[in-house]
A and B are shown apart, each in its own frame.
Chain A
């Protein structure tokens, strides 16, 4: 999705819900809104976060989320919490958010921004909806500062590809693509014609390899075929440890400060090689 379109979509979604006073009882139903809620509001105003917020492999705000009531996105649970603002992801828990709106609750939805500009806009919009405009501006400023501090690329940009469980790669017009570019890499998957988030066959990757393979950090729950796919001997053979960069999974899941964290990690690794 282009920057303009995502800006437009964000405005359309949030326009009817724009308010000035800070929300007092915020319930977040989604991992990414958990992060935004805890980064933009006082902790005591966040009444509930999603059940994924406590998982340190998935959540960048696991520490802050400790002790906050955990919800599983069920309508009755949310209503019992008496929220004055519910944050959710547009394409998850649709029936729950429809139900909440019908009951008269204020629901603000986010999407998955596919560019840095869209990320900034999303932070601004959510901050506005929460009544924390100043905090939103500060968060954006932090993000921009960290991105500006990234080392420059001298000479040829090395090629890289981000390979996810089940062989999915981030192609052009994706946030990950922008992050790779900021870190000084050339996204090979984009050059190979992958658009958005799509499958890249193992054979293509082996036959036409990038200089660097970006994969998830090992460890944690590996009990699925999708994840064990990344342990294929062919991958191990083609990309020895010096040709790999491991990035924690949580940096790819949501758009926010994790964008800067991912870019910093990748840039550091590039410079080190």
Chain B
């Protein structure tokens, strides 16, 4: 704590801002550097493209990515193991299921707010189930396996729901929900998700110090005056709000919450507290980068964002597991 992390914070913030701007400048055919100037000069079409098409995409890339990064760090802190992240342990999958049920039943047409609420409900069910299981059997392997089973179940139920929908487009749209995408989103989507995400962020960040105390185990944390029940509730609800709302508007983008905390941990002395806010920034950075890359790769059908993160994240996860029990894989007991 005598070390200052200021240079790292500055670098992360600068990188995040820079990528946000690059995302605004990236279109389906690559960089369009003259777009902001054209918009400023009064070109109505340019302004429309910038504000209604580029801005929502960049914003969601930042906000959804940040939510995933932060949730990953918070869940890893709570479960005390570095393999936990919303995608792997089935939280994103259940959020997608909740959103799908709301969307294809037409409920979100009647009440747009129902969409993020559906995602949040799905995420809450998943995390609550895993927490209850962790209280009974805190072994690392049990939680991960349960999460994987939950993810598989959610995926199957999502496929079923889409298959049963009478709408002819529904079945194909499973790709969006299970792989995620930021294409063709609108400011309405941002407005729907942001309030819930923001509350989720505040809840999770408020647990920073408590998560740090949890490093030495539950009894020690309790003896240091930490309210464990309150902490669990805040992380569970906070992660559900942020991830649930994000998935509802962008589908399930995986592995961001796994990669970002892992990469940033060494820069913060492996301490859970500063890692939370850092992972918020890092999640935004990673997602914005991936979204810029998929647009540069071009083509008629855009590569799904979730495919890009999975192509990097899945091998990374594999490597983490194969590396075996190491100093930072001790996990919870």
Contact = CB atoms under 8 A, between A and B. Distances in A.
Interface in B166-189: 166-170, 172-173, 176, 184, 186-188
A147 interface: no
A206 B105 contact: no
A201 B300 CA distance: 9
Nearest to A199: B300
Given A223-B105, A233-B52, A234-B48, A165 B28 contact: no
Contact of A234 (B46, B53, B173): B53
Contacts of B188: 233
A170 B140 CA distance: 54
A165 B172 CA distance: 13
Interface string A174-204: 0000000000000000000000001101111
A203 B48 CA distance: 9
A223 B104 contact: yes
A224 B165 CA distance: 9
A130 B214 CA distance: 79
Contacts of A202: 53, 184
Interface in B66-84: none
Interface string A203-232: 110111100000000000111111111001
B186 A233 contact: yes
B317 interface: no
Contacts of A42: none
A198 B300 CA distance: 8
B169 A165 contact: yes
Interface in A128-187: 165-167
Contacts of A229: 184
Contact of A167 (B165, B184, B186): B184
A22 B106 CA distance: 46
Interface in B102-117: 103-106, 109
B52 A207 contact: no
A237 interface: yes
A221 B52 contact: no
Given A167-B184, A209-B45, A223 B103 contact: yes
B223 interface: no
A221 B167 CA distance: 7
A224 B173 contact: yes
A216 to B, nearest CB: 12
A94 interface: no
> Most chain-A Cβ atoms within 10 A of its Cβ — which of B27, B168, B301?
B168
B46 A207 contact: yes
B48 A206 contact: yes
Contacts of B167: 221, 223-224, 227
Interface string B275-315: 00000000000000000000000001100000000000000
B148 interface: no
B61 to A, nearest CB: 16
B45 A225 contact: no
B31 interface: no
A141 to B, nearest CB: 34
Contacts of A228: 109
B15 interface: no
B116 to A, nearest CB: 15
B187 A206 contact: no
> Most chain-B Cβ atoms within 10 A of its Cβ — which of A167, A198, A221, A222?
A221
Nearest to A225: B173
Contacts of B184: 167, 202, 229, 232
A268 interface: no
A238 interface: yes
22 contacts: A199-B301, A203-B49, A203-B53, A204-B28, A206-B45, A206-B48, A207-B49, A221-B166, A222-B106, A223-B103, A223-B106, A223-B165, A223-B167, A223-B170, A224-B169, A224-B170, A225-B176, A226-B173, A227-B167, A229-B184, A234-B48, A237-B48
Given A207-B46, A234-B49, 8 more contacts: A203-B28, A207-B49, A221-B166, A221-B167, A222-B109, A223-B109, A226-B173, A234-B53
Q: In the A-B complex, list the 8 residue pairs whose CB atoms are closest, starting with the nearest.
A: A224-B169, A234-B52, A226-B169, A201-B28, A224-B167, A223-B106, A233-B186, A223-B167
